A and B are shown apart, each in its own frame.
Chain A
Amino acid sequence: MRALLRWVGRHLSVDRPSPLVKQSATVVAVGVATLIVLVVPEIDFTNLVTGLAGLAIIAGATAIAAIFTRVPRLARYALLIPALDILGIGAFRDGTGGTTSLFGSLVILPVVWLAAAEGRRYIVYAGLGTSVALMLPYLLSLTIPQTPPEWLRGVFAPLIFATAAGIINELARQSRVQMRAISQMADDKEQMLQKTVEFAAQLQESERKFRAADRMFRGVWAAVTEQSVIGTDVTGLIDAWNPGATRLLGPTAAEAEDKLHIFDFHVEDELEARARELNYPPGATVLNPGFSALVESARLGHAESREWHYLRSDGTTIPVLLSVTARVNEKGEVIGYLFVASDQTQAREVAKLKDEFVGLISHELRTPLSSILGYLELMRDDDEHPLSTEQLQYLGVAERNAHRLLRLVGDLLFTAQVESGKFPLDSRDVELESIIASSVESAEPAAAAAGITLVREGSAGPAVVFGDPVRLGQACDNLISNAVKFTPRGGTITVSLATTATDAVITVKDTGMGIAASELDQLFARFFRASTATRNAVPGVGLGLTITKAIITAHHGEMDVQSEEGVGTSFSVTLPLAAVSATA
């Protein structure tokens, strides 16, 4: 196709023939004419001078044509050649009989050349040129035509030539227009072809990049064997299934893709429970309601991690931590979901072992403590052999320390329960004022013994929260007993209760040794002990605040602390009021 277009372009172009090629027709015709003059006896030069001059002019024009052919930048003066030809032929005609010459018709050749040039003015030039050529005998002899036929010879023939020139000019023009159109089309095609080639190259490059990315992705996809990665469309139909999913659940990608739904691998009861949690009215969705529940958060644009059970192909279930994310197209519309699950069996096992261990330790510590405390009590209560005052004092020390150990075991067990999320709360509406009152009351003896003033500031109104009175009491006890421990003799502890529109705020403020600012953020960490506590030999293991914070958090409350070393510390607990938490 390209070769054909090139061929058309090369061979049908009007402007392409070189000046020498164009001149060749005239040269051949004049050559033949000269031969006739030399050979045919009846035909001879009537005026040798003008005849030879004519041939010389044509020879000159041919030489110029040769030069112009060699030097293309001179090509724009090429019309000088047919002009000279016309003059030369005029002279040759004059030399071979003038008006009676056989060779007047030769003039048609340069006229055609001239006429074919672009522009209407060349018609006039051709006419005038012909006229000059035909009237050349008069011009050369400096005579004026006398008779009308003589005049007409200079007008009529040129008029015919001019008309022919006009027709040629027009035909050439049309031809040029067509050629330009063809040439334009050829150029366009060439450009398009070029673009296609470039595009193909680009395509190849992006394909190469795509293949590299694809290989990378496939490598990663196949390497993830510890996580199950499953992709679905918006209805839950599986369209992607990694080796990890096969490992975790059983089916191969070929068995799962486009055949099974993600909810085929979920425990139905769990999905239903979740749907109920989300308050889906029955039949509210066209999709499987369990599936809707599963992707609820992801659909709303939040990635969600939650514990579920996967159903394996062998019928067993397996605990998994499942992250659900939405897959979106370039317009941001959800086109499906991605489910990444990791096996929680081991994590569960570890948690269970830890629970068992804590339970065992707690049991094994409490049993000997039971014996110690029980037998100590028997000694104290032995009416037959009453103990001396001194012995009773020793017994008191032993009992106090046994109780201290017992509390520690209790705290450890409680901390373990908090960590494993098993936090037993027996919640009901609780009046905080009374809880604070009893905590303050039970701390009174210790405060009095340490020479500390315990001040209680009442609230303006009732502060009822929904919570476990025992645990809340434990939290208050911890805060107040902490304050007692950390306040030197002569100090003051102020316990106050205030309410806002939504919350109750309990504040325990002391004038104690305070906590360094750099340690405040570690304060609630397990086994953390402030440097001021160790420096001042305040007893404790660092579980009190961890437990207190856990209790408050379980009640949807917050804990805050402000402290200045050497000035005092203020703990505040904010708990949502019952009326508020009920509507929340």
Chain B
Amino acid sequence: MTHTVVVADDDPDIRALVRISVTRAGLHVVADVEDGAAALAAIREYDPDLAILDVSMPELSGIEVCRAVRADVAIGDVRILLLSASVDEAAQREGLDAGADYYLAKPFSPRDLVAWLSVGKEAR
């Protein structure tokens, strides 16, 4: 079975970079959106195994999406990876408190992301 992933980032280049990394790790991108509201809709629609969310996005921030997902009992067990350009430790803590499983600071290494995704896939 292929693992499904929803990717959300307002920067198309970063989104493409994430897509490439996800694909390289052998996972399947089911939706690729550019704002928080669309991300939440896609998660509801596809019930993916993983959501990779940028923290600062229009409409809803990654953290708000994260909270909404965790608060919605209709949404199944989805792992969430937050991506952020902020290096602030408080922001990172806020993300994890909102229910994210992992927090990756930009700029990230695609190599590391692929490795993390691969390990996560095996753990399933």
Using a CB–CB cutoff of 8 Å, the interface residues on chain A facing chain B are 359, 362-363, 366-367, 369-375, 377-378, 381, 406, 410, 413, 424, 426
Residues of B within 8 A of A375 (CB): 13, 17
Residues of B within 8 A of A359 (CB): 86
Binds A, one of B33-41, B42-50, B105-113: B105-113
B110 touching A377 by the CB < 8 A rule?
yes
A377 touching B14 by the CB < 8 A rule?
no
In the bound complex, what is the Cα–Cα distance between A371 and B109 (angstroms)? 10
A370 touching B85 by the CB < 8 A rule?
yes
B window 13-68: CB within 8 A of A: 13-14, 17, 20, 56
A377 touching B109 by the CB < 8 A rule?
yes
Q: Is B88 an interface residue (CB 8 A)?
A: yes
Q: Is B74 an interface residue (CB 8 A)?
A: no
How near does chain A come to B85, taking the closest CB pair, in angstroms? 4
A367 touching B87 by the CB < 8 A rule?
no
A367 touching B11 by the CB < 8 A rule?
yes
Q: A363-B85, A413-B87 are in contact. Are A370 and B106 (CB under 8 A)?
A: yes
In the bound complex, what is the Cα–Cα distance between A371 and B17 (angstroms)? 8
How near does chain B come to A526, taking the closest CB pair, in angstroms? 20
**For this complex, into which size category does the number of interface residues on chain B fall?**
10 to 19
- Other A-B contacts than A377-B109, A426-B89, 19 sampled, CB-CB below 8 A, are A363-B56, A363-B86, A366-B85, A366-B107, A370-B106, A370-B107, A370-B108, A371-B13, A371-B14, A372-B107, A374-B14, A374-B109, A374-B110, A375-B13, A375-B17, A377-B111, A378-B20, A381-B111, A424-B90
A371 touching B11 by the CB < 8 A rule?
yes
B87 touching A410 by the CB < 8 A rule?
yes
Q: A381-B111, A406-B107, A413-B87 are in contact. Are A367 and B14 (CB under 8 A)?
A: yes
Instruction: Give 9 pairs: A residue, B residue, CB < 8 Å, sorted on A.
Output: A363-B56, A363-B85, A367-B85, A367-B106, A369-B106, A369-B107, A375-B17, A378-B20, A406-B107
Closest to A406 in B: B107
Closest to B9 in A: A367
Using a CB–CB cutoff of 8 Å, the interface residues on chain B facing chain A are 11, 13-14, 17, 20, 56, 85-90, 106-111
In the bound complex, what is the Cα–Cα distance between A381 and B17 (angstroms)? 13
How near does chain A come to B54, taking the closest CB pair, in angstroms? 9
A366 touching B106 by the CB < 8 A rule?
yes
A378 touching B110 by the CB < 8 A rule?
yes
Residues of A within 8 A of B106 (CB): 366-367, 369-370
Residues of B within 8 A of A367 (CB): 11, 14, 85, 106
In the bound complex, what is the Cα–Cα distance between A377 and B109 (angstroms)? 7
In the bound complex, what is the Cα–Cα distance between A426 and B90 (angstroms)? 11
Residues of A within 8 A of B110 (CB): 374, 377-378, 381
Residues of A within 8 A of B13 (CB): 371, 375
Closest to A417 in B: B88
How near does chain A come to B21, taking the closest CB pair, in angstroms? 8
B85 touching A362 by the CB < 8 A rule?
yes
How near does chain B come to A359, taking the closest CB pair, in angstroms? 8
Q: Per a CB cutoff under 8 Å, which of B14, B87, B89 touches A370?
A: B14
Residues of A within 8 A of B107 (CB): 366, 369-374, 406
Closest to A369 in B: B107
Residues of A within 8 A of B85 (CB): 362-363, 366-367, 370
Q: Which of A359, A377, A381, A424 has the most CB of B within 10 A?
A: A377
In the bound complex, what is the Cα–Cα distance between A362 and B105 (angstroms)? 13
In the bound complex, what is the Cα–Cα distance between A406 and B110 (angstroms)? 17
Residues of A within 8 A of B88 (CB): 424
In the bound complex, what is the Cα–Cα distance between A369 and B108 (angstroms)? 10
In the bound complex, what is the Cα–Cα distance between A359 and B108 (angstroms)? 19
In the bound complex, what is the Cα–Cα distance between A377 and B20 (angstroms)? 12
In the bound complex, what is the Cα–Cα distance between A406 and B107 (angstroms)? 9
Residues of A within 8 A of B109 (CB): 373-374, 377
Residues of A within 8 A of B111 (CB): 377, 381
How near does chain B come to A363, taking the closest CB pair, in angstroms? 5
Question: Nearest 5 pairs between A and B by C-beta?
Answer: A370-B107, A366-B85, A370-B106, A371-B13, A374-B17
Residues of A within 8 A of B87 (CB): 410, 413
Residues of B within 8 A of A424 (CB): 88-90
In the bound complex, what is the Cα–Cα distance between A359 and B90 (angstroms)? 14
How near does chain A come to B91, taking the closest CB pair, in angstroms? 10
Closest to A364 in B: B85
In the bound complex, what is the Cα–Cα distance between A530 and B118 (angstroms)? 50
Residues of A within 8 A of B17 (CB): 370-371, 374-375, 378
Q: Which of A359, A362, A374, A424 has the most CB of B within 10 A?
A: A374
In the bound complex, what is the Cα–Cα distance between A63 and B89 (angstroms)? 125
How near does chain A come to B26, taking the closest CB pair, in angstroms? 15
In the bound complex, what is the Cα–Cα distance between A410 and B89 (angstroms)? 13
Residues of A within 8 A of B14 (CB): 367, 370-371, 374
How near does chain B come to A305, taking the closest CB pair, in angstroms? 28
How near does chain B come to A490, taking the closest CB pair, in angstroms? 37
Closest to B11 in A: A367
In the bound complex, what is the Cα–Cα distance between A207 and B51 (angstroms)? 83
Residues of B within 8 A of A372 (CB): 107
How near does chain A come to B63, taking the closest CB pair, in angstroms? 15
In the bound complex, what is the Cα–Cα distance between A359 and B56 (angstroms)? 12
A374 touching B108 by the CB < 8 A rule?
yes
In the bound complex, what is the Cα–Cα distance between A370 and B106 (angstroms)? 6
Residues of B within 8 A of A366 (CB): 85, 106-107
Residues of B within 8 A of A363 (CB): 56, 85-86
Q: Which of B86, B89, B107, B110 has the most CB of A within 10 A?
A: B107
How near does chain B come to A365, taking the closest CB pair, in angstroms? 9
Residues of A within 8 A of B90 (CB): 424
Residues of B within 8 A of A381 (CB): 110-111
